Amino acid sequence: MTISRVDGPLVATGLRGAIGSTTGLVGVAGPAPYISPSNENPDAAPSCFFGATLLRDFRVPTRADGVTLAAGGYANADFGFASNAVLTADLVPATASNVNICASQTTAANTAMTFAAATPPAISYPPPLTVAGFGTIPGGCIQIDARPTYRAFGQSGAIEGWNGDGIGRCINVQVTAGFTGTVTIRGYDCYGLPITQVITNPGTGANNTTKAFKWIQSVTPSVAGQTISVGTIDTFEFPIRADRFVDVLIWWANSLVTVATGFIAPDATNPGTAATGSSRGRYTVQSASNGANALIIRQFIRPINLDTQIGTFGVPMV
């Protein structure tokens, strides 16, 4: 498929009859020779765009770029402003807990800790599942909050969109005495892609991960005789990359967040390692989750980032 230029407007008809239909629900007939008296698109769904729509700079309907246009391509280019805004998160996170992943226990060297019992909706143990074709989550993993879901649009369901209800969440490792060694956390992000975080020399107290997990497969200390618990915190990972606070609109508990407190920029280290952080960025809500407050996020992708996987989703995480 090549590029089509349409000056518009474009109208997609679905449950209602076509504009001008004499039998549709609109009930207003169009001028002759309009010939489609029935619903002409029962498979109506959102239009799909790569990256964004373009607000054309109407002062320059087409722009001759000369030698900068690729050989064999077009003789001129449309010019304007890339525009996008997408809902990426819409969920009610469960109350955070220091012990809902692993209750306090004494460690054995290089042995996975025992997971806590399920406490839905905060913690559950789903059967093996595949996340929208990205990755398969094996049985026995802990799931944090709800799993990601998507909605299929149109009669055939051929257009699918994320619902924003399953974003990743950071966790913490609580240590009650000085700990010299490592704690390795293996699991999956909200897309079902495997990630690993290694906390080195956690010492005493809380140690928060810099990656966000949706599923935890194992938590493994390197030394024995330590007393550790593992649980969730109120830091969430953006589903797409957010370089700056102005790239996001965040609502928490029905209030728009207007200050950057809690915003954590992406870790751009490339390639990523088990010690690096989220390559999409994170946000820490400024009051404790309680199982009732909703987190809603809209994101804007900067034009310079629109057309690459790293620009939109960040450096691949390990």
Name the residue type at position 250: I
- In angstroms, the Cα distances linking 305 to 51, 55, 70, 84, 316 are 9, 17, 21, 12, 15
Per-residue pLDDT at 155: 76
Q: Tell me which of 29 and 188 has the higher pLDDT.
A: 188
State pLDDT tens for residues 72-98: 777 778 889 998 999 999 999 999 999
Q: Dig out the tokens for 65 from the structure.
A: 């770029």
- pLDDT tens per residue across span 92-129: 999 999 999 999 999 999 999 999 999 999 999 999 99
pLDDT above 90: percentage of residues in the chain: 69
Structure confidence at residue 157 (pLDDT): 85
Report the percentage of the chain scoring pLDDT > 70: 87
φ, ψ (nearest 5 deg) of residue 312 = -90, -40
What average pLDDT does this structure show over 235-258? 97
149-179 pLDDT, tens digit each: 999 987 788 889 999 999 999 999 999 888 9
Computed over every residue of the chain, the mean pLDDT equals 88
DSSP the chain: -------S------SSPPTB-SSSSS--BPPTT----S-S-TT------SS-EEEE-TT-SSB--GGGSPTTS-SSB--EEEE--EEEEEE-PPPP-SSSSEEEEE--TT-PPPPPPPBTTTEE-PPSEEETTTEEEPTT-EEESSPP-EEEESSS--EEEE-S----EEEEEEESS---SEEEEEEE-TTS-EEEEEEE---SEEEE-SS-BSEEEEEEESSSS-EEEEEEEEEEE-SS---SGGGEEEEETTEE--S-TTEE-----SS--TT---SS-EEE-SS---SS--EEEEE---GGGTTSHHHHH-SPP-
pLDDT score, position 158: 85
**Which segment of 40-44, 58-62, 129-133, 249-253 scores lowest on mean pLDDT?**
40-44
Peptide bond into 93 cis (omega under 30): no
Reported as a single tens digit per residue, the pLDDT across 287-316 is: 999 999 999 999 999 999 998 999 999 999
